[in-house]
Structure 1
Amino acid sequence: MAVVLGPNRYGKAETRVVRVAREGEVHHLKDCTVSIALSGAMEAVHLAGDNAAVLPTDSQKNTVYAFAREHGIGEIEEFALLLARHFVDSQQAVHHARVAIDEHAWVRRGPHSFVRDGTEVRTCLVHHDRDGTSSVVSGLRDLVLLNSTGSEFHGFATDRYTTLAPATDRVLATAVTAGWRHAGPGTGSSADSYASSYADSYTGARECLLEAFAGTHSLSLQQTLYAMGRRVLERRPELCEVRLALPNRHHFLVDLAPFGLDNPGEVYYAADRPYGLIEGTVLDDAAPPAGPAWD
């Protein structure tokens, strides 16, 4: 049996960086978690303990902070591309860089006062290769949605263990994790203009998700997932693929009969686990191959 080194990468995970842009009395806040992974000609460090090709993960962390100061943090996709290109261009042994950024939202309450905006997190994942090819996946997680009616679930398969009753009117709730792949950038920085504005793209895609969730009379969460992904691709031509993970946050009617009370669909127990998890991809069939974009 021959033992060989397989795919590998290393980097600094979850560097927290907060950037305050001070414009007189009005301040702007960016709160991000940055994770970096580098790969390339790293065989020697694994096989012989030779660290010559290894840029310390502490240096990667410091780069995040220095770039936040020197370049600021605008759209997280742009900051991720800046970092990824830097590591590939500056380190001969690095052939591929992966940068993932979570942005934690704050709502302005004054010129320099902010309140944390719930649990929703904006996300991006960037890959950049030595040949200049980049891929960008934007998205979000923990976007909590609920329809109090307009949802059904019946006609499903049954077996000897099925106890679930068919439902013609139920609460449909979920915490959306979504990612959408940009058809650009492709090769080189000039392709970045294809996405035109990551901020506009993010706002538009998010609104499409909200509209489709609210506007779909759902016969299953799978049907809703497809409607959400389809709406994004129909409205946002700069995007070519949407991946969604929708946990079914079950709401069960509470039996109030022991207390002499009826319950005409008004009082529910919100269960946190176990839950159904619906995952799926919706894509333009003419989309370029995803490559490592989602990894």
Structure 2
Amino acid sequence: MLGPNRYGKAETRLVRVHRDGESHGLVDFNVSIALSGDLTATHLTGDNSGVLPTDTMKNTVYAFAKEHGVGEPESFALLLARHFVHTQPQVHGAKVSVESFAWDRLGPHSFRRRGDHVRTTVVTVTADATQVVSGVSGLVLLNSTDSEFHGFVEDGYTTLKPATDRILATAVDARWRHAGDDTDWAASFEGSLAALVSAFVGTYSYSLQQTLYAMGAGLLEARPEVAEVRLALPNKHHYLADLSPFDLENPGEVFIAGDRPYGLIEGSVVRDDAPAATAEWWL
């Protein structure tokens, strides 16, 4: 029996220059499309009469970028997803994911790629519902103090020492689900990002789990249009370097930045009255 399935075009790279006078605008997207619906025939018999080629999906991305322009990733993803569902009767659901790469302006037509984080968007459209999930990945944050970790379970394999003053660092991967599908996407993203950063900075942490909850709760408090936020926080460990062989003391000043393995903390914070999700969207 054929189980759930979908197909689409992954990672269509789109750069759109808006030439509005002497000062240009630049949008840099990575667009992935996945369609689901009545696709049994192509899987079981090779009948492709209901298959929209993935090459057509790619072409649609570029054509829409010209015909409609490209603004916020949520708006562009909604435009694409609704197009495929409304124009292809055999398609019952469309999921469009967008990575948005930011560029800082250096002049009227000069830019520098910003490398500290990537903005993400996942839009799911069916005949009955629309769901918009915004987010950020690769947002590296660090507190050099105001972090402890102690009182944990210890067994015969435990070697970790309790810490009352440690570096807390992470690379935030966060997604937040909007209660609706019509908002000021730019303001919502910037406000949500600011709320996450503010909560990280302002939380005296006894565990990364505590910090995760504070960041999620801070975002929901700041942005009423968001129903739920999900976070994955890798613990970017920093180990105190042993300088005793060199007759040097190290009172919490010189550290080794660990690579792997690392702790990974994941969780969600949801409003009490949040509408139910209409599609799965875990990180």
How far does the alpha carbon of each residue in 1:77-101 deviate from its partner, in whole angstroms, 9 at most, with x for none? 0000000000011111101000000
Matched residue, 1:75: 72
3-state SS in 1 of match to 2:102? strand
Q: Which of 136, 145, 148 is the equivalent residue of 1:149?
A: 145
Paired letter, 2:69: G
3-state SS in 2 of match to 1:252? strand
Residue 183 (structure 1) aligned with residue 196 (structure 2)? no
State the shift of 1:119 in Å.
Answer: 3.9
Matched residue, 1:213: 200
Matched residue, 1:55: 52
Answer yes or no: is the 8 Å Cα contact 2:39–2:90 preserved in 1.
Answer: yes
Residue 162 (structure 1) aligned with residue 143 (structure 2)? no
TM-score (norm 2): 0.98
3-state SS in 1 of match to 2:31? strand
Aligned ranges for residues 98-177 of structure 1 at < 5 Å?
98-131=95-128, 133-177=129-173
State the shift of 1:181 in Å.
Answer: 0.5
Residue 255 (structure 1) aligned with residue 252 (structure 2)? no
Q: Work out the CA distance in 2 between the residues paired with 1:138 and 1:169.
A: 34
TM-score (norm 1): 0.94
The percentage of counterpart residues that share the same residue type is 65
List, as ranges, runs of 4+ consecutive aligned residues in structure 1 with deviation greater than 6 Å.
Answer: none
Q: Work out the CA distance in 1 between the residues paired with 2:39 and 2:62.
A: 25
Q: Work out the CA distance in 2 between the residues paired with 1:112 and 1:266.
A: 43
Answer yes or no: is the 8 Å Cα contact 1:119–1:143 preserved in 2.
Answer: yes
Q: Which of 226, 240, 257 is the equivalent residue of 2:213?
A: 226
Range that drifts further, 139-148 or 252-261: 252-261
Answer yes or no: is the 8 Å Cα contact 2:130–2:278 preserved in 1.
Answer: no
Answer yes or no: is the 8 Å Cα contact 1:10–1:38 preserved in 2.
Answer: yes
Answer yes or no: is the 8 Å Cα contact 1:96–1:130 preserved in 2.
Answer: yes
State the shift of 1:291 in Å.
Answer: 2.5
Q: Compute the RMSD of aligned alpha carbons.
A: 0.8
Answer yes or no: is the 8 Å Cα contact 1:212–1:231 preserved in 2.
Answer: yes
Q: Work out the CA distance in 2 between the residues paired with 1:183 and 1:293.
A: 15
Aligned residues: 282
Q: Work out the CA distance in 1 between the residues paired with 2:222 and 2:29.
A: 28
Q: Work out the CA distance in 2 between the residues paired with 1:276 and 1:83.
A: 37
How far does the alpha carbon of each residue in 1:186-228 deviate from its partner, in whole angstroms, 9 at most, with x for none? xxxxxx2xx2x01010011100000000000000000000000
Matched residue, 2:274: 287
Q: Work out the CA distance in 2 between the residues paired with 1:119 and 1:94.
A: 37
State the shift of 1:110 in Å.
Answer: 1.1
Matched residue, 1:237: 224
Matched residue, 2:187: 200
How far does the alpha carbon of each residue in 1:12-57 deviate from its partner, in whole angstroms, 9 at most, with x for none? 0000000011122211111000000000011110111000000000
Mark the runs of 5 or more structure 2 residues left unpaired by the alignment: none
Matched residue, 1:189: none
How far does the alpha carbon of each residue in 1:236-260 deviate from its partner, in whole angstroms, 9 at most, with x for none? 1100100000000000111111111
Range that drifts further, 7-16 or 17-26: 17-26
Q: Work out the CA distance in 1 between the residues paired with 2:248 and 2:114.
A: 38
